Amino acid sequence: MFGFTTKQLVGVAIFLFMIFIGVPLIIGATGRWDFYFTLTSVALLAIASAGVWLTFYIGRINIGQGAFALIGAYVSAILVVKAGWSFWLSLPAAGLFAALVAILLGLPILRLRGVYFAMITLVLTQVVTLTALALPITNGARGISNIPLPSGISVFGIPILPDFAAMENTKLAFYYTACIIMILTYAALYRLVNSRLGHLCRSMQQNEELASSIGVNISYIRIVIFAISSFFGGLGGAMFGSIAQSVYPSSFQVADSVNFMLNCFLGGLGYVFGPMLGTLVLYFGWDLLFEFGKYQMLIYSTILIIIIRFLPNGLLSLRFGKGGDK
pLDDT tens by residue, 102-153: 999 998 888 777 778 888 899 999 999 999 999 999 999 999 999 999 988 8
Q: Report whether pLDDT(14) > 50.
A: yes
Query: How much is the pLDDT for 133?
Result: 96
Report whether pLDDT(48) > 80: yes
In this prediction, residues 141-166 reach a mean pLDDT of: 85
Q: Band of the pLDDT at 231, cuts 50, 70, 90?
A: very high
Helices (H), the chain: 6-17, 23-30, 34-57, 65-81, 87-109, 114-134, 170-193, 196-206, 208-213, 218-244, 254-267, 274-289, 296-310, 317-320
**Residue 15 pLDDT greater than 70, yes or no:** yes
Longest dimension (CA), the chain: 60
Percent of the chain with pLDDT over 90: 60
Confidence of residue 97 (pLDDT cuts 50, 70, 90): very high
Do 224 and 192 form a contact (C-beta atoms < 8 A)?
no
Average pLDDT over residues 57-70: 93
Lowest mean per-residue pLDDT among 96-100, 163-167, 236-240:
163-167
Q: State mean pLDDT over 199-213.
A: 81
What is the average pLDDT score of the chain?
89
Q: pLDDT at residue 155 above 80?
A: no
Taking the CB of residue 213, how many other CB atoms lie within 10 A of it? 9
Tell which residue, 189, 188, 197, has the closest CA to residue 217.
Answer: 197
At residue 317, the pLDDT reads: 85
The answer to whether 262 touches 278, Cβ cutoff 8 Å, is yes
| Phi and psi, residue 207, nearest 5° | -165, 100
pTM recorded for the entire structure: 0.92
Give the per-residue pLDDT at 321.
Answer: 54
Can you tell me the mean pLDDT for 31-55? 94
Tell me the mean pLDDT in the region 293-300.
Answer: 84
Domain segments of the chain as ranges: 33-151+161-253
Separation of alpha carbons 125 and 250, rounded Å = 10
Q: What is residue 301's predicted lDDT score, i.e. its pLDDT?
A: 85
- Measured CA distances, 223 to 64, 97, 107, 205 (Å): 15, 15, 7, 15
The conformation of residue 165, written as its DSSP 8-state character, comes to G
If one compares 217 and 73, the residue with the highest pLDDT of the two is 73
Surface-to-core class of residue 281, CB atoms within 10 Å of its CB (0-12 exposed, 13-18 middle, 19+ buried): middle
pLDDT score at 204? 83
For 78, phi then psi, to 5°, come to -65, -45
State the pLDDT at residue 182: 96
Looking at residue 320, what is its pLDDT? 62
In the prediction, which pLDDT does 326 show? Answer: 53
Q: What is the mean pLDDT of residues 200-225?
A: 84
Structure confidence at residue 1 (pLDDT): 46
Predicted confidence (pLDDT) per residue in 142-152, tens digit:
999 999 999 88
**Quick check: 3 pLDDT over 80?**
no
d(CA 170, CA 178): 12
Beta strands in 79-141 (DSSP E): none
- 326 versus 64: the higher-pLDDT residue is 64
Residue 303, classed as helix, strand or coil, is helix
Which range among 126-135, 151-160, 299-308 shows the weakest confidence by mean pLDDT? 151-160
Q: How confident is the model over 17-34, as a mean pLDDT?
A: 91
The predicted pLDDT at position 323 comes to 46
Task: Answer yes or no: is pLDDT of 2 > 70.
Answer: no
Instruction: Give the Cα separation of 270 and 324 in Å (integer).
Output: 6
